[in-house]
A and B are shown apart, each in its own frame.
Chain A
Amino acid sequence: MTRGERRNLRLGLAFVSPWIVGFLAFTLFPVAASMYYSFCDYDVLTKPIWVGALNYRDMLTDGVFWKSLYNTFYFAAWALPLGLIIALFIAVLLNQSVKGRSVFRAIFFLPSLIPVVAASMAWLWILNGNFGVLNHLLELCHIKGPQWLADPIWTKPSIVLLALWGCGNTVVIYLAALQDVPRSLYESAEIDGATAWVKFRHITIPMISPVIYFNLIMGIIGSLQVFAQVYILFAGGGGPERSALFYTVYLYQNAFEYHQMGYACAMAWVLFLIILSLTLVATRSTRKLIYYAGE
């Protein structure tokens, strides 16, 4: 190494040192410790006791664990595709030459910024079975609305609704991508007499496919970790018949209410594996469908 190289190495390390310290203290150590705890009986107050794979084996027979996994998948299976489609639909609408686009965009975007606690309070009120606006609107259409948050059938759809309301983030990302699609592509398609649908299907979708993929991955990661909304709407309890006990809520309960920190860690690792494998599956299965302009 020359003197200059050594100088640069020292400087470079000095500049990234905040990250290095943070990485060691807040990522590497916790990840290693979490792995270790997941094989332990640990209540945070006393020393962890090694129990082997017991926590993981317990999971297999823990009905509540499976229930929480089912609830989370149920939620993700609805919220994720619906969110992606609705957000794309709104973004396409906004991408037409409409007057007041920035005002509309702001309106769709705003809900995703509202503090999740405040937003949950508003929805707690909207979804109220007796005085809520949603049931009132349904009544105007001669539909008897359910007790959204008290009926086990309707608790998960309620959360899906709340999640869809917050899709403005995704709209903005889509819209930015839509605006980057070269106009010339559409123009030459129009000369060939392409219909709006053909243009959308064969120009728009391929051109924005990297961003659809990005939103898909972010959606998988986000929807499997939903916590605050569910915790607040059901006062931390998981709702009627545990119908809204989501994975992270059950994990939180294990860690901080039942003090089964080892079990909570094991659950966290299983969640990580689920997210990782779903991301891999999504990446594999969409690889051929994504068009990267640079390649």
Chain B
Amino acid sequence: MSTRILQRVLIYTLLLLGSATFLMPLLLMIATGLKPIEQTMSVPPTWIPYRLYVQKDGVLIEIKQADVNRYPAVSIIKKPAPRWGNYVEAIKAMKLFPRYLSNTVILCVLTVVGTVLSSSLAAYGFSRIEWRGRNSLFVLALATMMVPFPVTMVPLYSLFRWLGWIGTLKPLWVGSFFAGAFNVFLLRQFFMTLPKDLSEAARIDGCSEFRIFWQIVLPLCRPALMVVALFQFMYTWNDFMGPLIYLTNQKDFTLALGLQFFQSQLGGTEWHYLMAASTLVALPIIVLFFFTQRTFIEGISMTGIKG
């Protein structure tokens, strides 16, 4: 019995230690983003942003960090005080933050719509209709997943340059309207699970193939479509290499590229603003994750088990 208890204690200790380690960088990022600059550089580091006060005639008066030595140590009162204003300052310091945000949102909307539409169409063609050559073409689609991005990087760049798209957002979204193999594969696996009779019955009733796709199959596949949409949103929001290669004007930057640009300009000084900006970039993803956790977990598990 006692070994069982010991085992439990061990498991929980490991889990708590592990999750503290995994959370630490995020908590530190958020905390640093809420500090005044002198608290970011303090040794030893402080975790919680604070303000200092001394009691004078019954009222609390805030004092500066630099003046600490002028007061007896016992009279100094430390109170937790996050500087929410850092977010505003960071946005101002990044200058084009609203542009970065709107570019990112535009790209997210376009790529999510494009991916969901085109991948589900293609997946339907690869699963719900029998036609000659279907399977060999599908194997070809799977084979394209093997090609690493660097192989196609240069020709894609020269193609987009020839089209005059470098320095516009187009290279980052047009491709999503042409069904990537991974999403087609994911949706096809899902479409295959629906019974054949479903389409047959509709066909006998004279329903067009597109209507079967649009009004019968798609509504039944909402969970899988959600997974694809979510993954695409995340991918676009987080993508760094694409924007780095194709975007040339600062006003076209996405948040990811804009944040890196901001950091390269700061040159390692104003950590509080950098962390505040990083928090702002990460926050939508964190919030999204909390609202769609189950879709996320199912999606990831799906890629692992069925892949």
Interface residue ranges, A against B (CB under 8 Å): 1, 5, 8-9, 11-23, 25-27, 29-31, 33-34, 37, 42, 44, 90, 93-94, 96, 98, 102, 104-111, 113-119, 121-126, 130-131, 133, 136, 139, 165, 168-169, 172-173, 175-177, 180, 211, 214-215, 221, 225, 227-228, 231-232, 235, 248, 251-252, 255-256, 261, 264-265, 267-269, 271-272, 275-276
Query: What are the nearest 6 A-B pairs in CB distance?
Result: A22-B178, A15-B125, A173-B304, A176-B301, A12-B131, A30-B152
Q: Determine the main DSSP class of B at the interface with A.
A: helix
Is A272's CB under 8 angstroms from B131's CB? no
The binding surface of chain A is classed by DSSP as: helix
Instruction: List residues of chain B with CB within 8 A of the CB of A173.
Output: 300-301, 303-305
Query: Which B residues are in CB contact (< 8 Å) with A268?
Result: 148, 150-151, 153-154
Q: What 0/1 readout, one digit per residue, does chain B (17-57) give for beta carbons within 8 Å of chain A?
A: 01100111110110010000000111111000000000000
Q: Known contacts being A26-B156, A261-B158, A264-B153, is A215 close to B304, with CB within 8 Å?
A: yes
Q: Are B28 and A19 in contact (CB under 8 A)?
A: no
Given the complex, which residues of B lie within 8 Å of A136, measured CB to CB? Answer: 43-45
Q: What would be 25 A-B contacts, judged by CB atoms less than 8 Å apart?
A: A11-B129, A12-B134, A15-B124, A15-B209, A18-B117, A18-B118, A18-B122, A18-B177, A22-B178, A33-B158, A34-B155, A44-B157, A106-B293, A107-B19, A121-B278, A124-B263, A139-B44, A172-B297, A172-B300, A225-B148, A225-B149, A232-B240, A232-B263, A255-B153, A264-B154
In the docked arrangement, what's the CA distance between A90 and B17, Å? 11
Judging by beta carbons under 8 Å apart, are B125 and A12 in contact? yes
Q: Which residues of A are found within 8 Å of B28, using beta-carbon distances? A: 122, 125-126, 133
Q: Which residue of A lies closest to B288 (CB)?
A: A113
Query: Which residues on the A side are within 8 Å of B121 (C-beta)?
Result: 15-18
- Contact of B279 (CB < 8 Å), options: A18, A29, A118: A118
B15 touches A104 (CB 8 A): yes
Closest Cβ of chain A to B200, distance in Å, is 13
Partner of B131, one of A11, A107, A131: A11
CB-defined contacts of A121 to chain B, threshold 8 Å: 29, 259, 263, 274-275, 277-278
Chain A residue at smallest Cβ distance from B42: A131
Q: How many angstroms between the C-alpha atoms of A109 and B140 in the bound complex?
A: 33
Q: Give Cα distance in the complex from A239 to B296, angstroms.
A: 35
The distance in angstroms between the C-alpha atoms of A106 and B18, with both chains bound, is: 12
Contacts A117-B260, A235-B264 given: A110-B286 contact, CB under 8 Å? yes
A122 touches B234 (CB 8 A): no
- Alpha-carbon distance A119/B141, docked complex (angstroms): 33
Q: What CA separation (Å) do A84 and B146 show in the bound complex? A: 21
